[in-house]
Amino acid sequence: MSRFEIDAKDAMGRVGSLELGGRTVTTPALMPVVNPHLHKPDLSEADIVITNSYIIYTGDSHDEAVKDGVRSVVGEGFDGVVVTDSGSYQMSVYGDDEVDVSNREILGFQRRIGTDIATPLDVPTPPDAARETAEGDVETTAERVREAVELYEGYGDAPALNAPVQGSTYDDLRERSAREAYTAGADVYPVGAVVPLMSDYRFGDLVDTVVAAKRGLGADAPVHLFGAGHPMVFALAVAVGCDLFDSAAYALYAEEGRYMTPEGTVQVDDLDELPCACSVCRGASGDKLGFEALAQHNLNVSFAEMRRVREAVRAGNLLELVETRCRAHPDLLDGLRRLGAHAETVERYDPASKSSFFYLGNPRRPEVVRHHQRLDRLELGDDTLVTAGRARGRDPLLLRPPFGPFPLELAETYPLNAETPEDPDDDAVDSALRGVERLVSLNPDATVTLEHPGWTHPRLDSLRDKGVRTEVYG
C-alpha cells in the first residue's frame, strides 16, 4: 500500500519519497490541517494534507464525502495525498463520552471516503501522566492498531495506515509502543500527544520522546510528528528523524494576529514593515493583513522552511541549520543540548562523509563523537607530540578543537578540515582535551607532550596528573 525510499541523509534526518496509491510525497513534508467547515487555504504547494474524519463523520460534509470522496471536502482541485485523523484529539479534549464512535466505525468511514492514510482511534496520553495510565493507554492503542490492520486486510481498496506511538513522557513506554506499532505492520508512525510539550516549550523533552520512539522503529519507518506546525522546530525535529509534520498553527496563530517567522512569532500589529518576501507580504503592511492573508503568510513561511530543511539535508549541513534555529530561543537551545546528549545515537545514522563542517558552538556533533571513537586506530610511538599549533617541520599529531588528536596527513580531509573559530570556546577546548585523555588511556605506555596556546582549562590539570607534559607555545 505504501513505499518509502530514502534519497539523502544527514544526522537522523532524511529526504525521501513516500509513495501512496500512485501519488508521491517528498519528505520531510508539511501537511496543512484542513477543516472542511472553516477556512480553506491555498494548497497549491501542498503534496499532502490532513483533515479530521470525525469532524466529517459528524458534520455537514458527511454526505458529500461519502458520495464524492474526501478530496471534495478538502479543497477544490486538490489531488495530493489526504491523511485523516480519527477523533482522538476530540476524545482527549472532551472525553470518551463526547466522542460517540468506535474504532471500527471510524476506520470503516475513512475507507469509504477514500482517504490515503487512515488513523485508528488511539488514546493520547498527555505529558507527565501517571505511569499506570500511560501503560494502559499504550496497550489500548496497540490493540486498536492491530484491529485496524486486521480490518483493512479484507479490502482491496483499503488505505495505508497510521500506527500512533504513545507513552507520555516515559521513554521506555514510547519505545515499546513504537516497537509494537512497527511489528503490527502499519505504514506511517505518528508520535502522538506531543503538542503540550511544544506549547510549553519543552523542546528537550520533545527530543527525548522522538529519539525513544525511533529506537522502537525500523530505519525504513516514516515518522509523523503530530501537531508540530511551527517552522522554528522543523530543523530540530528532522534532525531526530521526523518525516511528516501537520500544521494547524498557520490558521490558529492568524486568529490571534500572530505572524510566523522561522525564528518565532510576533504580533503582526507590532510590525512597521513585513520581513517576509512571500506573495502575501510583498508590498503589504502588517495593519492591512486580515485573517486569511495572515494565515496564508504563516503557511507560506512554513513551506519555505521545509524546503530549506530538505536542502540542508541534501547538502549535509542540517546540523548547522539546527544550531542557527535553536540559538534563536533559550528553550530551543535546551532542545539542541538534549540532541547533543543523544550524540552517540545520532552518529549511527549520520553519514561519515560530507562536503563541509562549520563549528557553531556545539561539540556534541556526530562527527566529533565518531572521531573520538576512532582514536583507537592511532598507533603512538614511545614519545608523541600533540600540538594545537603548527607542525613546523615536525611530525606531531595535530589538535584542533573540538576534535581530538589526528595525524597531519588528515588535516585536509572531512571533518578535520572544518571551519572553526580562531579563538575556540571552552566547550570546544574541553572536547579536544577529552580526545587527548582518551588517546592517553588507549596508550598507557607512551609518553605524550601537549603543546597549547595558553589554555587555562581544568582538564589540563587532569592530563598532567596522567603524566602528560604540557607546554605553551609562543
Catalytic sites, residue numbers: 85
Cis peptide before 415 (omega within 30 of 0): yes
The rounded distance, in Å, linking the Cα atoms of 116 and 161 is 8
Residue 315 in marked binding region: no
Residue 276 annotated as lining a ligand binding site = yes
Backbone angles phi, psi at 22, to 5 degrees: 85, -5
Q: Extract the C-alpha cell encoding 216.
A: 522502537
Give the integer Cα–Cα distance in Å for 27 and 246: 12
Rounded to the nearest 5 percent, the helix, strand and coil shares of the chain are 45, 20, 40
The one-letter amino acid code at 354 reads K
Q: Which residue has the cell 595525524?
A: 407
Residues 70 and 114: their CA atoms lie apart, in Å, by 6
Cell numbers found for residue 199 = 506549547
Cα→Cα distances 187→1, 103, 390, 464, Å: 8, 18, 54, 55
Please tell me whether 219 is known to bind a ligand.
Answer: no
C-alpha cell at 102: 468506535
Cα(198)–Cα(122) distance, integer angstroms:
20
| Residue 281 counted as an annotated binding residue | yes
Q: Is residue 166 within 8 Å of residue 140, measured between CB atoms?
A: no
**Residue 242 assigned as binding residue:** no
Rounded-to-integer distance, Cα 414 and Cα 311, Å: 20
What is the residue-wise DSSP string for 50-113? EEEHHHHHHSTTHHHHHHH-THHHH-TT--SEEEEE-SHHHHHHH-GGG----HHHHHHHHHHT
Q: Which three cell numbers stand for residue 110?
A: 475513512
**Residues in CB range of 56: below 8 A, 6 or more apart:** 36, 62, 65, 70, 73, 84, 109, 113
Q: Indicate the annotated binding residues for substrate.
A: 122, 193
Q: Which residues are annotated as a binding site for Zn(2+)?
A: 276, 278, 281
